[in-house]
């Protein structure tokens, strides 16, 4: 029956930015942090977590999450070189979605605006507008699933903490807490250590950002039927996050006693609903979503009922259509699949 049809929205965020943040997009290490992850999650219960999420939303969108703002849509635009990684025979149609972010055209605004959270709309709102579009086009859409690589992984980790319509998020090789980045020698862009948003304090101060990375991970996972799976990759040649940082209790010669994974899973358990897990993919060092990640992580997650015991998000017999979003700002590209039941 039409009323029973289930629509799944999957987004694959492909690597990223073509516009430089400034002359040197990589701030010098060490990045400011109090190096005490035990202080990085400042809420314990669901009643404390939701106001924290709302404060995060209002930092970026003072008027609230723009769930009614729509991208412009060009239907059936065909393939172009940006989509070289897509197999045409598996795509029935390509649409282009363009998100207008208040006339801003360059992420070079980020350093100039200092502590202004609204500049982060350039990174996050195209994804929110895409979910808006599919929710409007398909009112029976029950949830959204987001899968991101690299800069797209960072985006997915951030947006999933903000937009609870995203029930399942799978960031791949996209981000790590600031204290971890210092210890493992990660190369970060400005937005990945943006102190007004993510600040972890310093040697004498507690975390002072709106939401630390650990808080983002918890907020992305907590809530009925919500789940985040963090995928990390060993020895990446681009030098982003090249160790088992999520499960190690000792990083860069310093012992923390509790791993990132244990901090986050414990916090999600305290909140009382949702799931957070981490997968270390050892199939190869390439900075990509490997076939083993697709087969062993992504498809099982989509085929497994969520924490509320509802139906699997897809079945292998579903009809599929595909759309492509390539935002005008060229921050990242999104492969959008809708799956009908």
**Span 69-75, average pLDDT:** 87
Domain count, the chain: 1
Predicted confidence (pLDDT) at residue 337 exceeds the cutoff of 80: no
Residue 38 has pLDDT above 50, yes or no: yes
The pLDDT of 208-237, averaged and rounded, is 90
Residues 6+ apart with CB under 8 A from 338: 7, 8, 9, 134, 138, 320, 321, 322, 323
* Alpha helices (H) along the chain: 46-60, 109-112, 121-137, 151-162, 178-184, 195-198, 213-221, 260-271, 291-293, 299-303
Highest mean pLDDT among 80-94, 106-120, 148-162, 210-224: 210-224
pLDDT at 298 over 50: yes
Phi (first) and psi of residue 125, to 5 degrees: -70, -30
State how far the alpha carbon of 19 is from the alpha carbons of 8, 26, 330, in Å: 31, 13, 7
Residue 272 belongs to domain with CATH number: 3.40.50
> Rounded mean pLDDT of 251-274?
93
pLDDT at residue 64 is higher than 90? yes
Q: How confident is the model at residue 243 (pLDDT cuts 50, 70, 90)?
A: low
pLDDT band at 241 (very low <50, low <70, confident <90, very high): low
| 269 contacts: CB under 8 Å, gap ≥ 6 | none
Instruction: Give the CA count within 13 Å in the CB-facing half-sphere of 142.
Output: 19
pLDDT of residue 296 exceeding 70, the answer is yes
- pTM to 2 decimal places: 0.84
Q: Which domain holds residue 17?
A: 2-340
* Segment of 33-37, 108-112, 285-289 carrying the highest mean pLDDT: 33-37
**Gap between the Cα atoms of 8 and 26, Å rounded:** 36
The whole-number average pLDDT for the span 50-60 is: 97
Cis check: omega of the bond before 30, within 30 degrees of 0: yes
Cα 264 to Cα 13, 229, 318, 331: the distances in Å are 24, 11, 34, 28
Average pLDDT over residues 303-328: 49
In 3-state terms, what secondary structure has residue 259?
coil
Kindly indicate the confidence band of residue 19, based on its pLDDT and cuts at 50, 70 and 90: very low
Could you tell me the CA-to-CA distances from 200 to 77, 154, 275 in Å, in that order? Answer: 44, 17, 24
Distance CA 188, CA 28 (A): 9
Kindly report the average pLDDT of the chain as a whole number.
78
Is the model more confident about 18 or about 59? 59
């Amino acid at each position: 029956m039409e009323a029973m049809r289930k629509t799944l929205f999957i987004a694959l965020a492909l690597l990223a930015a073509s516009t430089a943040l400034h002359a040197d997009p990589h701030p010098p290490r060490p990045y400011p942090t109090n190096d005490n992850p035990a202080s990085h999650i400042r809420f314990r219960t669901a009643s404390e977590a939701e106001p924290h999420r709302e404060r995060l939303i209002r930092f970026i969108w003072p008027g609230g999450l723009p769930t009614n703002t729509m991208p412009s849509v060009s239907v059936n635009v065909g393939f172009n070189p940006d989509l070289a990684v897509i197999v045409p025979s598996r795509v029935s149609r390509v649409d282009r979605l363009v998100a207008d972010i208040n006339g801003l055209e360059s992420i070079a605004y980020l350093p100039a605006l200092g502590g202004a959270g609204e500049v982060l709309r350039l990174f996050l709102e195209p994804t929110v507008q895409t979910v808006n579009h599919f929710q409007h086009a398909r009112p029976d859409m029950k949830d959204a699933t987001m899968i991101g690589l690299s800069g797209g992984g960072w985006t997915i980790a951030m947006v999933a903490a903000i937009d609870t319509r995203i029930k399942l998020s799978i960031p791949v090789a996209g981000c790590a807490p600031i204290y971890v980045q210092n210890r493992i020698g990660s190369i970060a862009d400005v937005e990945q250590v943006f102190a007004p948003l993510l600040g972890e304090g310093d040697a004498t101060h507690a975390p002072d950002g709106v939401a630390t990375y650990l808080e983002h991970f918890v907020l992305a996972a907590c809530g009925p039927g919500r789940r985040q799976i963090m995928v990390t990759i060993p020895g990446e040649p681009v030098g982003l996050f090249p160790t088992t940082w999520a499960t190690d209790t000792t990083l860069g010669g310093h012992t923390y006693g509790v791993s990132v994974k244990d901090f986050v899973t414990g916090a999600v358990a305290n909140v009382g609903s949702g799931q957070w897990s981490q997968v270390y993919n050892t199939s190869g060092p390439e900075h990509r979503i490997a076939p083993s990640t697709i087969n062993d992580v992504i498809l099982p997650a989509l085929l497994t009922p969520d924490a509320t015991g509802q139906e699997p998000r897809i079945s292998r017999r579903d009809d599929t259509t595909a759309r492509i979003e390539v935002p005008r700002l060229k921050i990242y590209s999104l492969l959008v699949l809708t799956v009908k039941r």
